[in-house]
Structure 1
Amino acid sequence: MRTPWKAALGLIAGAVLCLSPQAAALPGTAPHPAPAAPAAAAADPAYKILVYSRTAGFRHSSIDEGVTALRELGAQNNFTLDATEDPTAFTAANLAKYKAVVFLSTTGDVLDAGQQTAFQQYLGAGGGYVGIHAAADTEYDWPFYEGLAGAWFQSHPAIQSATVKVEDRAHDATAHLGATWQRTDEWYNYRTNPRTTAHVLASLDESSYSGGSMNGDHPIAWCKDYAGGRAFYTGGGHTEESFADPAFRRHLLGGIRWASGNTEADCRPETGYTPLFDGTSTTGWKQAGPGGFTLADGTLTSQGGLGLLWYNAKEITGDYSLKLDWKAAGDDNSGVFVGFPASDDPWSAVNNGYEIQIDATDTPDRTTGSVYGFKSADLTARDAALNPPGEWNTYEIKVTGERLEIYLNGRKINDFTNTDPVRSLKQGYIGLQNHGDGDDVSFRNVRIKQAGTPPPGQRTGEVKGVNGKCLDIDGGNTADGTKAQIWTCNGTAAQRWTVGTDGTLKALGKCLDVAGGGSADGTKIQLYTCNGSGAQKWAAQSDGTVRNPQSGKCLDASGGTWNDGTPVHLWTCHTGPNQKWTLP
């Protein structure tokens, strides 16, 4: 089924996926480098954006180049812009004219209370925000803005080349890039890690340059749904040269298109997924039936068929979330199979499992988002979430017992419960179908998260400090404000810490916290209800210290002698023995 405007764009397609034995046996292939990206994207309805570049602190010399680049992108991609540094532009009536507002290297306090309220209301009505570079160095006294931008600036090293790891190659801001992107810029460190509240599109390889301080997990571009609107941020854009770079311009265009609602993406936070196909090889996959897939640029593209490429390395049991990115070239047919038994016959998956369909022009129970032959997608929700041919989409296929939920670009479009014991969803394999000659569908980034699987990097155990003593919560008390101390290691829950992927240290169900979010030497370290603030973020350093990025200071066992009960507090980092900690 097609909505009229998507029909005009030549809407999406697909069906069942198939790979040849040759494709399944493809040797590991390194992803291609990022191509020189053209500025043009799919034709969008005409719209307007506001570019705001007021500075109340450091002023970037690249602002003029940024405005020029955005004007040229608009001329090429059917949007116009108003550029201003006048905060009186932030009224409800004026903001209503724009699909997105770009904060272009703003710094300091650039809006008063009334203007903040107008902007917050604009976002609540579905407006878009695009933050570029120093937009993260803005409005430190406005907590709403911290959530909008995703993280606040902390520091930066010298301008230098670094390797950007592209984590999401489906979002319009990053789909044109390879798995890595080598570029020169001023690379910000942030006070907090946005990964748990935003969807990370790209991150920095801290081993590729000097001065990164985010403990190896360093997001640099992300997106999120926020307060009723859409928010996109990129840390690039310090240098004038950035705005002449076609790949960076295309990155900005994708952020603007998404924030303006002209393309869809799954911008929900994502942690804990394990790759089944990471773009380098089809190891662990096996072809059933004719046809196949080619592997190039981290992408599997169907050819011939009818066949099925299935992941035979592991049967999936229990509850799980399967995510993958897909793109149809035109009115094509493909699909994703779940819950079928091991077999070299592709029809076994058809007869014993379920297919989540990719084909926008078939009957409702056989169109994109349907459980093929069993239940149509919510077509209104599907059409609102669907990108047209030539653009990437993301499926989440969520299995809970016999319940099958389907999300397209982050929006739920189907909810089906199996009642057939032959097709039980509680165990089985997953596969991608190539439907036949002329059906051109591509797949990237197949990953899975199974129930009970801890996120990568999350560890639990003792935190050991000076004299081999353990970080301990006084008396095992769980009340907010209970002091943290060192104590002889005893294996109790008061000394069992979980190092979270979000930078937290948790014990007894609560977080290690800097009292009041303070930064003064001697500030109490305590147990407190987890709240996601910078007072509860900790980063292990290569010198053995554990730093609170918000304050820039270290976890410290107080005093010059250290006995059971010695309190732990915040202190200027000096790498002495009372600031050295071993984490699980």
Structure 2
Amino acid sequence: MRFSPLRLIGVAATGALLATALVGVPASAADPAYKVMVFSKTAGFRHDSIAVGTQAIRDLGAANNFTVTATEDAATFTTANLAQFRAVVFLNTTGDVLNAAQQTAFESYINGGGGYVGVHAAADTEYDWPYYGTLVGAWFLSHPAIQQVTARVEDRTHPATSHLGTTWVRTDELYNYRTNPRANVRVLINLDESTYSGGTMGDHPIAWCHSQSSGRSFYTGLGHTQASYAEAAFRAHLLGGIRYAAGVATANCSPATGRPPVTVEGEAFTSTGGVQVANHAPASGGKTMGYIENNDWAGFSSISTVGRTGFSARISSAGAGGTIRIRSGSQTGTILGTVTVPNTGGWETFQTVTTTLTGTGTGPIFLTFTGGSGSLFDVDTFTITG
């Protein structure tokens, strides 16, 4: 038997000036000059990141050929005034911020080809205005404490995500929404709820885009913290959303058909019989689900098997190898699929094994493990599809 080493947790704190955060954000000098309005009126909770967020957008504009008018005056929402802007950013707005006439002017602006960018608490805005609910995509419901999360990038072709990898680890306040917008929008990023506490949606979109009449809408649920606006990756995300909404960058924002694959860290199990976390530098996140022996199992309460048809796992083994059984609902639940895991030649030598899922999944995924004696294999990540 291999024994679990102590887990070492390193915490690093860094600070950066906003001006230096432009490093890594690609300039879009080829874009025609245009104007963007940043609107940050609040009638509820007020985020202390509004000022740095506004300055970040000004900096992005200076580097990417657009000028910014920042305001909290709702009286600027007139047909004549809005016509000069290619996009309007609702930056952490809250509550009822526009009257009926101003709402009508904004509807006409969007329907006529204008662009909307909603940032974070833009989803905590105008609950009694159905048009806005469709525009933003989903309204805020709740949030847990600020914490680190692994976000999964579903669409890397959009200008707001093209700079990202398949996952994005960052710290923010993570909204749950009243409804899942997936059926009506193109989801760009979703949250892996197994990597943080307090997610309630299962399938959890956090950034998306869609067209509305002749206009364009982009929303990101990220951007609560002041630190967000000093992060080059987040600023590039925000810039891509602005460029799309302004119509100077194109993207497919039609709702995607089918469901996206879900990739899960093996060590993110929520219940277990025998397995432990193992440290391996080449693994995703530097850790695996390890110390797997015959008849061990692991459950993942937020990962549903309903409708899923495929399974793959990134595994390693210097032991006997063995078998993974994919079950629904519990460690003794219906077997949906089975895949053989070979000896890969080392605990840090990874390869992928794949199988088809059959039968009817009705609950969360459980993995059960069988094989010979001693440690069988490690699971770095697994992905379910369909």
Could you tell me the TM-score, scaled by structure 1's length?
A: 0.41
Are residues 1:250 and 2:208 paired? no
2:119 and 2:306 map into 1 onto residues whose CA distance is 29
- Counting aligned pairs with the same residue, the percent is 64
* Structure 1 pair 164–138 and aligned structure 2 pair: CA distance change class (3 A): same
Q: How far apart are residue 272 of structure 1 and its match?
A: 1.3
Tell me what 2:43 maps to. 56
Are residues 1:84 and 2:57 paired? no
Secondary structure at the aligned position of 1:145 is classed as helix
2:49 and 2:237 map into 1 onto residues whose CA distance is 17
Which amino acid in structure 2 is aligned with residue 112 of structure 1?
A: N
Tell me, which stretches of 5 or more residues in structure 2 are unaligned?
A: 1-22, 264-304, 309-359, 366-386
1:205 and 1:130 map into 2 onto residues whose CA distance is 24
After the TM superposition, which residues 283-322 of structure 1 pair with which residues of structure 2 at under 5 Å, given as runs?
Answer: none
Secondary structure at the aligned position of 1:266 is classed as coil
Q: How far apart are residue 37 of structure 1 and its match?
A: 3.3
Tell me what 1:234 maps to. 220
Q: How far apart are residue 40 of structure 1 and its match?
A: 1.6
1:187 and 1:541 map into 2 onto residues whose CA distance is 22
Q: How far apart are residue 218 of structure 1 and its match?
A: 0.3
Q: How far apart are residue 541 of structure 1 and its match?
A: 10
Q: How far does the alpha carbon of each residue in 1:170-210 deviate from its partner, in whole angstroms, 9 at most, with x for none?
A: 00000000000000000000000010000000000000000
Q: How far apart are residue 228 of structure 1 and its match?
A: 2.0
Return the index of the structure with the highest Cα Rg. Answer: 1
- Checking the alignment, whether the CA contact within 8 Å between 1:205 and 1:218 is kept in structure 2 is yes
Give 2:246's match in structure 1, choosing from 251, 254, 260.
260
Which amino acid in structure 2 is aligned with residue 62 of structure 1?
A: S
Which amino acid in structure 2 is aligned with residue 122 of structure 1?
A: Y
Give 1:136's match in structure 2, choosing from 123, 138, 155.
123
Tell me what 1:68 maps to. 55
1:200 and 1:42 map into 2 onto residues whose CA distance is 28
After the TM superposition, which residues 438-477 of structure 1 pair with which residues of structure 2 at under 5 Å, given as runs?
Answer: 457-458=306-307
List structure 1 runs of 4+ shifted beyond 6 angstroms: none
Are residues 1:191 and 2:182 paired? no
1:129 and 1:48 map into 2 onto residues whose CA distance is 13
1:178 and 1:260 map into 2 onto residues whose CA distance is 24
After the TM superposition, which residues 254-403 of structure 1 pair with which residues of structure 2 at under 5 Å, given as runs?
Answer: 254-272=240-258
Q: How far does the alpha carbon of each residue in 1:527-572 deviate from its partner, in whole angstroms, 9 at most, with x for none?
A: xxxxxxxxxxxxx999xxxxxxxxxxxxxxxxxxxxxxxxxxxxxx
* Structure 1 pair 123–48 and aligned structure 2 pair: CA distance change class (3 A): same
Secondary structure at the aligned position of 1:50 is classed as strand
Secondary structure at the aligned position of 1:265 is classed as coil
Tell me what 1:205 maps to. 192
After the TM superposition, which residues 5-84 of structure 1 pair with which residues of structure 2 at under 5 Å, given as runs?
Answer: 37-41=24-28, 43-84=30-71
1:273 and 1:90 map into 2 onto residues whose CA distance is 38
Tell me, which stretches of 5 or more residues in structure 1 are unaligned?
A: 1-35, 279-455, 460-497, 500-539, 543-584
- Checking the alignment, whether the CA contact within 8 Å between 2:28 and 2:65 is kept in structure 1 is no
Aligned Cα root-mean-square deviation (Å): 2.3
Secondary structure at the aligned position of 1:213 is classed as coil
1:42 and 1:230 map into 2 onto residues whose CA distance is 22
Are residues 1:118 and 2:96 paired? no
2:120 and 2:163 map into 1 onto residues whose CA distance is 20
- Checking the alignment, whether the CA contact within 8 Å between 2:50 and 2:91 is kept in structure 1 is yes
Q: How far apart are residue 42 of structure 1 and its match?
A: 5.2
- Checking the alignment, whether the CA contact within 8 Å between 2:110 and 2:214 is kept in structure 1 is yes
- Checking the alignment, whether the CA contact within 8 Å between 1:57 and 1:108 is kept in structure 2 is yes
Which amino acid in structure 1 is aligned with residue 174 of structure 2?
A: W
* Structure 1 pair 108–274 and aligned structure 2 pair: CA distance change class (3 A): closer
Give 1:100's match in structure 2, choosing from 65, 87, 91.
87
Q: How far does the alpha carbon of each residue in 1:21-61 deviate from its partner, in whole angstroms, 9 at most, with x for none?
A: xxxxxxxxxxxxxxx73242352000000000000000000
- Checking the alignment, whether the CA contact within 8 Å between 2:152 and 2:192 is kept in structure 1 is yes
Are residues 1:149 and 2:136 paired? yes
2:123 and 2:224 map into 1 onto residues whose CA distance is 12
Q: How far apart are residue 227 of structure 1 and its match?
A: 2.5
Tell me what 1:221 maps to. 207
1:61 and 1:208 map into 2 onto residues whose CA distance is 26
- Checking the alignment, whether the CA contact within 8 Å between 1:39 and 1:246 is kept in structure 2 is no
- Checking the alignment, whether the CA contact within 8 Å between 1:53 and 1:63 is kept in structure 2 is yes
- Checking the alignment, whether the CA contact within 8 Å between 1:37 and 1:176 is kept in structure 2 is no
Q: How far does the alpha carbon of each residue in 1:381-418 deviate from its partner, in whole angstroms, 9 at most, with x for none?
A: xxxxxxxxxxxxxxxxxxxxxxxxxxxxxxxxxxxxxx
1:208 and 1:202 map into 2 onto residues whose CA distance is 15
Which amino acid in structure 2 is aligned with residue 239 of structure 1?
A: T
- Checking the alignment, whether the CA contact within 8 Å between 1:123 and 1:227 is kept in structure 2 is yes
Q: How far apart are residue 155 of structure 1 and its match?
A: 0.2
Q: How far does the alpha carbon of each residue in 1:313-338 deviate from its partner, in whole angstroms, 9 at most, with x for none?
A: xxxxxxxxxxxxxxxxxxxxxxxxxx
Which amino acid in structure 1 is aligned with residue 230 of structure 2?
A: A
Q: How far apart are residue 457 of structure 1 and its match?
A: 4.3
2:30 and 2:198 map into 1 onto residues whose CA distance is 41
Tell me what 2:314 maps to. none
Which amino acid in structure 2 is aligned with residue 248 of structure 1?
A: F
Give 1:180's match in structure 2, choosing from 157, 161, 167.
167
Could you tell me the TM-score, scaled by structure 2's length?
A: 0.62
- Checking the alignment, whether the CA contact within 8 Å between 2:34 and 2:86 is kept in structure 1 is yes
- Checking the alignment, whether the CA contact within 8 Å between 1:39 and 1:73 is kept in structure 2 is no
Which amino acid in structure 1 is aligned with residue 143 of structure 2?
A: H
Tell me what 1:525 maps to. none
Q: How far does the alpha carbon of each residue in 1:231-272 deviate from its partner, in whole angstroms, 9 at most, with x for none?
A: 000001100000000000000000000000001111000131
Q: How far apart are residue 67 of structure 1 and its match?
A: 0.4
Q: How far apart are residue 274 of structure 1 and its match?
A: 7.6
1:174 and 1:190 map into 2 onto residues whose CA distance is 21
Secondary structure at the aligned position of 1:130 is classed as strand
Q: How far does the alpha carbon of each residue in 1:342-375 deviate from its partner, in whole angstroms, 9 at most, with x for none?
A: xxxxxxxxxxxxxxxxxxxxxxxxxxxxxxxxxx
- Checking the alignment, whether the CA contact within 8 Å between 1:134 and 1:235 is kept in structure 2 is yes
Which amino acid in structure 2 is aligned with residue 193 of structure 1?
A: N
